[in-house]
Amino acid sequence: MKHILVTGGLGYIGSHTVVELISNGYEPVIIDNLGNTNRDVLDRIQKISGKTTAFYEDDVRNEDALKNIIEKHKIEAVIHFAAYKAVGESVLEPLKYYDNNIGGLISLLKAMKASGVKNMVFSSSCTVYGQPDVSPVTEDSPVKVANSPYGNTKQIGEEILHDCQFLNTVALRYFNPIGAHPSALIGELPLGVPNNLVPFITQTAIGLRPQLTVFGNDYNTKDGTCVRDYIHVVDLARAHVKALDYIDRHPDNHFEMFNIGTGNGFTVLEIINAFEEVNKVKLNYTIGPRRPGDVEKVWADTDKASRVLNWKPELSLEDMVRTSWNWQKGLQAQS
């Protein structure tokens, strides 16, 4: 396999994955509606990789456009990122999430089937586990009732892919990607108010936000704040390359899922403290009420990804908070 369609390829995880694909000899083709990113990312990818990448500004719900792109570029596999991902927003606007995340997946699958493409790497999430009984969670841990419409779209997405017998799918269940490319040319760039912790930390530290709110400090954790498995986005991007390698080696394997995390759980306050310590910056933060849809604690058992995909995370928490800050400072210098 060489020609890979990357939906949402100018987004945070998508852009880092495109860079890794290029460096491993693949030819990615990007489709993105620029709903939560901007075209400038394409130029940044080119600066890092030294290669020009085909790009189409269109919506993944546009089945005809997808078919045309797939056939024009002789696409052999799809990495599907194009989805809304903010837990809190999904609670407030569930129909927006079902329309895009489920509707977009269905139109993509129709286009793939019509064009004879059967290989898919699906951007899934640890939210499929809901609030697990125990952590770390393995791929055999029960899929619980989702805590949010966003989480439910990932559960439904996996079920749809499992039911599509023509597909050869690897679902990567991401934990919490943070950090940025070491070049500081690409990173997490939410449009508007960030929904994720680290962009809010960096925007507060640089002075774009007056204060960071920690949502709840009365959870049953070591310091009362939520626990997550934070993984460097470059490590996560490399897992997609490993997933394509796996599909290439196992063309008759219908559906497989892998946890992609570090196997370590950190509290929100531990992330804040690490950011302050590594970057020598003091953050203005306050404790607020719990946020609807948030899970108390979850982190990954990554043994299967290590064993089967031959993938392991290589970057540390210090790398995550350092590269996040370097990315934010670079953005500020350009503004």
pLDDT in tens, 203-247: 999 999 999 999 999 999 999 999 999 999 999 999 999 999 999
Name every residue whose Cβ is closer than 8 Å to that of residue 44 and which is 6 or more positions away in sequence: 15, 185, 186
Q: Does domain 3-180+231-262+301-314 have CATH number 3.40.50.2300?
A: no
pLDDT in tens, 66-104: 999 999 999 999 999 999 988 888 999 999 999 999 999
The 8-class DSSP code of residue 61 comes to T
What pTM value is reported for the model? 0.96
Neighbours of 327 (CB within 10 A): 24
pLDDT of residue 97: 97
Domain positions in the chain: 3-180+231-262+301-314
Centroid of chain to Cα 253: 24
- The average confidence (pLDDT) of the chain is 95
pLDDT (mean) for 268-292: 96
pLDDT in tens, 116-171: 999 999 999 998 998 888 899 999 999 988 888 999 999 999 999 999 999 999 99
Active site amino acids: 150
